[in-house]
Amino acid sequence: MTFLQKLLSLMLLIGGCVVLFLTLHLPAQAQTSRVDLVENVATPASTESAEATASATATPSAEVVQKIEEKKERDITETTGQAKSRLAQLLDNNPVDPMNPTNILQHAIRRAVESGVPANILVLILLFPVIASFIAASRHIVGLSGFGVYTPAILAVALLSTGIVTGLALFISILLVASVGRSIIKRFKLQYLPRTALLLWVVSLSVFGLLLLSPYLIQINIDLIAVGIFPILVLILLSENFVEATQTGSESRAIELTLETILLAVLSALFLRTEMVQDFVILHPELTILAVLVLDVAVGKYTGLRLSEYFRFKPILDSEEE
């Protein structure tokens, strides 16, 4: 199959998804319009019947709104919701001692929250260096490489916002589309920046198609309806790391780095969503900051073998001991 045929097939697939979406939803919209028309000319009895029909028609939209609100209530990255209220209430239930050199930040956090600064955002800002230290230690001591430190950390926050299952499904879909799109676009022999922009076009269209199909994906626990734009953009931009890895090395190495990045991001997201961790950070910010500093210095001073290298070179080490 030639390049143009593959590109045409991709465009037809996206177009088919759009047509399917419109085909399934236009009848419902037409039914709503007919109900509105009946309401304008009906008798009181028929008016009540039409209102009941309209109410039944609007039920799916109400369910979607309810799901979005429930998701926002649980999402710690949102500036409103239960996460913010819970942390603010936690501060009220744990009064701080009079100000001294060891609790300056505790007083500052409480004043900021009283002034309207979201408590959950303060917690995330304090926890971001923590997961960065965890990722650095995993790479320096354990031997998990991944795409550096920032990529797994940012991916963890994105997964925290989207939900781990939904975020992973979306991220893997984006990576698959980016991999296929790269192999197709490579035939154009374009310069780097136009090639990257074209790849971003392909990935964006694929995400657009997934969002159109989101009402049906929710049946398999992939809820894209309540996902915000910024986590989606983060996931799209992170696909560039995978593409660059495939260009500078082998595809197997790129897949290995991607799997390690996903593992680190999932572990970090699970850590971030733990309420016990959130409570400790907001109640003891000074201790958290000091612990991160000590951990980073300790990891940076470590010059021994990584844990993965012990298993890799175990036969050599055993032969030297003999």
**In terms of C-beta density within 10 A (0-12 exposed, 13-18 middle, 19 or more buried), how is residue 306 classed?**
middle
- Residue 92 CA to residue 88 CA, distance in Å, equals 7
Q: Is the pLDDT of residue 123 over 90?
A: yes
Q: Which two tokens stand for residue 117?
A: 């600064």
The model's confidence at residue 108, banded by pLDDT at 50, 70 and 90, is very high
Q: Is the pLDDT of residue 7 over 60?
A: no
Kindly give the interhelix angle for 229-248 and 251-272, rounded to the nearest 10 degrees.
150
Q: Can you list the alpha helix ranges (DSSP code H) found in the chain?
A: 3-41, 44-74, 82-93, 104-114, 119-137, 150-162, 164-185, 192-212, 214-217, 229-248, 251-272, 275-283, 285-301, 307-312, 314-321
> Please, what sign has the CA dihedral across residues 262, 267, 270, 273?
negative
Q: Is the pLDDT of residue 230 over 50?
A: yes
In the predicted model, what is the mean pLDDT of the chain?
A: 76
Q: Which of 63-77, 108-122, 184-198 has the lowest mean pLDDT?
A: 63-77
**The predicted structure's pLDDT at residue 288:** 95
Is residue 124 within 8 A of residue 237, CB to CB? The reply is no
- Residue 185 CA to residue 62 CA, distance in Å, equals 42
Question: Between the ranges 120-129, 136-145, 179-188, 208-217, where is the mean pLDDT highest?
Answer: 120-129
- Residue 117 CA to residue 30 CA, distance in Å, equals 45
CA distances from 78 to 10, 136, 253 (A): 36, 27, 36
Rounded to 5°, the CA angle 11-13-16 comes to 110
CA-wise closest residue to 182 among 254, 261, 265, 234: 254
pTM reported for the whole predicted model: 0.71
The model's confidence at residue 11, banded by pLDDT at 50, 70 and 90, is low
